[in-house]
Structure 1
């Protein structure tokens, strides 16, 4: 079994697994293939589960135990090494930079297109209406994300602030975050973008905000953010990436659909006209 097939299999069964086995899958995918090449006990400790729990995952995947899973991973790595030697060999047609780049772009474009279709399908209908209702009626809306997904949070706030007052980015420094949490209550909504590898800072803020009564909208991936249990509305996007690039386009596209739904509820034509007039005058 090739490594791409192994990681695909881990992703395919993830949502159906018990919580302990899901924790093992997250460790494997976060540090693949290296997390798979140590001892079963070490893997279990990293996942915070018992060795028997980790072992049950590999039985469920159809392997004859953890050793058989490791052998499949090693075989895949040897195949990958031979492929790399081939494409880097002098005179190899596969080593042509132009051809290789063109093929990668074409493949990535197809993956991006497929992933985008899946992401947009997630927020159609009732789910989009739920998020729009929360963002329209909240006393204030605060958005945050991780190292890359913070760009989607920024985009949400910039656009939402044109549609309604009280849309803010969660500040970065701990003291400013504390002041923000201090004033949160049941009328407020926090929109968190949280993708693997999940952000500890995002988790700390959302847990604190939830503890003050704020309602949570979570935009995440299929792996299961640790914040999923706190979300009043969970927007779970499929895991589709364009090559090695994290699919920020999916997050932005989904955010745009949510903003369209908010605008339909608020009918902000007058506010937008006033905003445009003020912008011209300043």
Structure 2
């Protein structure tokens, strides 16, 4: 089967946008706007919604590497299965259930190889323009930064937030409490930037939050996995990580590498202003006996 080899069809579409003709880009926008459901419509329907001809839709599928539109849709079906994968289903799918106790040296070697490859693959597939866009939004000090995540990805959100709090003002980790979160979001508007971490199995509440920020004119930066959270349909910037399932749990190491790269980029972009903010923070902490 053709396609992008790994990751989601949406990710392949985003990567190929620069190669597309104007008509093919119309098809891409229609598919991404209602992803993945739009991809299961007929060629004629997609062409109608895009305002292009049916052959253009077929050429677009071929540009992505598929031998026909049916193969394109089969890739979408397989992706949906991957999106819904749980640790329990991956326990069987990865062959983990049949593994016997192995020497710790084998575990070390396997982890080193797998994690190193995942980080390399993540950076190789990360669009430089998207990374730069994310850094630019986070370094724009007139904007209010809102940061959140899900059950596990919330750990990454907190990690990013704690770093950015040291570099600039107006950084907020969204509270878990309904009253507190509502109060923080009530005054939202065009100057907001929401950074949201969302990995499979994706959380509907995070999509609702992203849609609210977009509706109010704010920006959304999504950090996600290779299958792409549904938030990718509304996000201004998508930063995916590549973590092939080799155990029942997807590795968050590649996403952490992306997060640390973003922090480094923001630190560079802010320059002396970041250093001055860090200095004031250190002084305050020492005055309070915290450090």
Does residue 235 of the first structure (1) align with residue 288 of the second (2)?
Answer: no
**Are the structure 2 counterparts of residues 219 and 112 from structure 1 closer, same or farther at C-alpha, using a change threshold of 3 Å?**
same
Q: What residue is the counterpart of 1:176 in the other structure?
A: 180
User: 1:54-93 counterparts in 2 under 5 A?
Assistant: 84=98
- 1:270 Cα deviation after fit: 1.5
Equivalent residue for 2:39, pick from 19, 31, 45: 19
- 1:242 Cα deviation after fit: 5.7
Distance 1:13 1:214 in 2: 26
TM-score w.r.t. the length of structure 2 is: 0.66
Gaps of 5+ in 1: 1-5, 36-75, 88-94
Q: What residue is the counterpart of 2:139 in the other structure?
A: 136
CA-based RMSD of the aligned residues comes to 3.2
Which of structures 1 and 2 has the bigger CA Rg?
1
Q: What residue is the counterpart of 1:273 in the other structure?
A: 279
> Residue 112 of structure 1 contacts residue 242 of structure 1 at CA under 8 Å; is this kept in 2?
no
Q: What residue is the counterpart of 1:224 in the other structure?
A: 228
Moved more, 22-31 or 165-174: 22-31
The count of residues paired between Structure 1 and Structure 2 equals 221
1:98-125, Cα deviation, whole Å (9 max, x unpaired): 52x4423322221100001122345574
Distance 1:98 1:242 in 2: 15
SS in 2 for 1:227: helix
Gaps of 5+ in 2: 13-35, 41-72
Q: What residue is the counterpart of 1:200 in the other structure?
A: 204
- 1:264 Cα deviation after fit: 1.1
Equivalent residue for 1:250, pick from 223, 247, 254: 254
Distance 1:166 1:13 in 2: 34
Distance 1:213 1:164 in 2: 22
Distance 1:127 1:115 in 2: 19
